[in-house]
Chains A and B, each alone.
Chain A
Amino acid sequence: MDTYTPHMSRRFSHHLGSQLALEKRVVFVARVGVEVPDPRLIKLHAACAKILDLSGAAEYVEGVFWDAKMLEEQCTLESDGSSNLYALLCMKGLGISVR
């Protein structure tokens, strides 16, 4: 039986004004032959999320998304040259459009 607790990034509650119930425990149990989530993948996802949160880099990434959204809405990039064209090109290579 695999048991987990949910954890929020700092920007989660900032954006949503709400919080996950951190006291809750999530228990995965295999049923009708369907395997539970692999703890290794859960741990890898958590590591990536925590690295972004603890280093403060999440805001940087969201800045890239903001620039992409502005581009999609045919607005202009930052006139001071701070828009990250390189990251935008990476997103373009993934075929990503902003929701």
Chain B
Amino acid sequence: MPRSPGTPPPPATLTYSIGAPVTPQPHSRRTTSLEGVLNFGLSPEATAAEIAEADAILLAILNAYTHRTPVTARTGSISGGHFRADDLIAHLRLLAPSPAGRANIVRQVLAYLFPSAATSAAEPVPSLSEILPRARIGRVDPSLAFPGIDEFARDMLDCFFVPLMAEGGKTPAPTSRISPSFLTSRSRCDDHAPSPTRIETLRKQILQREDGRCVITGWLDEGVNRIRRAAGVQSATTAVVEAAHVLPHSLNSRHGQLTDEKAFVWRVLDMFDPGVRVMLDGALIDHPRNALLLQSELHVLFGQLQWWLEAVPVSSSGCRGGVC
């Protein structure tokens, strides 16, 4: 039943009543084309009330899934690895970097769980005003959505997290050594330079910004140490340090043409944080704003999402310059 404008959103805790039965929608969407798996477009305009209602519906479905599905059936397994589909979707929603990202995720999950009979995978994801009547409380038995929860979670892992982690920490090594002038000369990012040249330039820039030291351990780059040793200054702790991309360099194509798999990863990232794709388009992926200086071991683990950085609120950040 459509709500009139101005109607307050439903409360956060909802219970489903099984109303007039609806035809179960097919949830088996696995195809050979990523386009046919998940179609992440940016969210069309939605009202605050629509977003709040969609959010409450998704929470209610996840809550029902959690309580009605045995733990053993809520796990996916591969070679001994397990995950809980409801947990994955709940955390996707909870940890979206922005309200717009969260709204996108909620809309995407509901569109997946309640597809229109006429929807084809190649079409843009429908707006919330189209999705909500199909998912609205009282019309749908939430258990009909449970298989879709499993499949959505699997697709997110297979087509987004697996490629993202696999690409992380793979920045190509620079081909040339740094010169003694690197600490003072200014390097500029050239959008038209070949990728290896850009990587080398980026490393020099980051070495300058971080004074040649890993931002976590503070160990000095071996190449920088050689230069300083020649000048009579030596550091006791040195390591191979690298320019580590925050979002992987290899997600962009050398020739501007992305594979379906990479295009899909970018669409999901853009769903989480609308506009991030433009920020890192083409050569911008190798901009200093997307890089930090890390020892090689920490670089790999950062790319594999095994550790991360969290901002300290301004009021409690009381140190200056490098590592405190």
Contacts and interface: CB of A to CB of B under 8 A. Distances in A.
A43 B163 contact: no
> Which of A38, A48, A65: most chain B CB closer than 10 A?
A48
A94 B310 contact: no
Given A34-B208, A46-B309, A86 B158 contact: yes
A87 to B, nearest CB: 4
B319 A25 contact: yes
A66 to B, nearest CB: 5
A6 B206 contact: no
A70 B310 CA distance: 35
Contacts of B170: 99
A25 B276 contact: no
Given A27-B317, A60-B83, A67-B79, A94 B158 contact: no
Interface residues of B, number: 78
Nearest to A30: B209
A62 B247 CA distance: 19
A61 B78 CA distance: 9
Contacts of A32: 184, 186, 208-209
Interface in B155-199: 157-159, 161-167, 170, 184, 186
Nearest to B159: A90
Interface stretch (B47-55, B226-234, B284-292): B284-292
A34 B206 contact: yes
Contact of A33 (B186, B273, B319): B186
Contact of A6 (B88, B300, B307): B307
A20 B78 CA distance: 29
Interface string B310-323: 11101001011111
B83 A55 contact: yes
Contact of A29 (B91, B306, B311, B321): B321
Contacts of A57: 83, 87-88, 153, 157, 161
A7 B309 contact: yes
Contacts of B34: 90, 93
B262 A94 contact: yes
B68 interface: no
Given A24-B323, A35-B287, A37-B292, A6 B308 contact: yes
B310 A60 contact: no
Contacts of B78: 60, 63-64, 67, 82-84, 87
A54 B87 contact: yes
B311 A3 contact: yes
Interface string A17-58: 000110011111111111111111111111111111111111
Contact of A47 (B96, B260, B290, B320): B96
A2 B88 contact: no
Contact of A26 (B158, B167, B272, B309): B309
B9 interface: no
A52 B163 contact: no
B261 interface: yes
> Which of B97, B307, B321: most chain A CB closer than 10 A?
B307
Given A45-B309, A62-B81, A84-B158, 7 more contacts: A26-B216, A27-B320, A47-B97, A49-B308, A51-B88, A63-B79, A83-B78
16 contacts: A4-B312, A25-B324, A29-B320, A38-B279, A41-B289, A54-B91, A55-B84, A61-B81, A64-B162, A65-B162, A83-B79, A90-B34, A90-B158, A91-B162, A94-B167, A94-B261
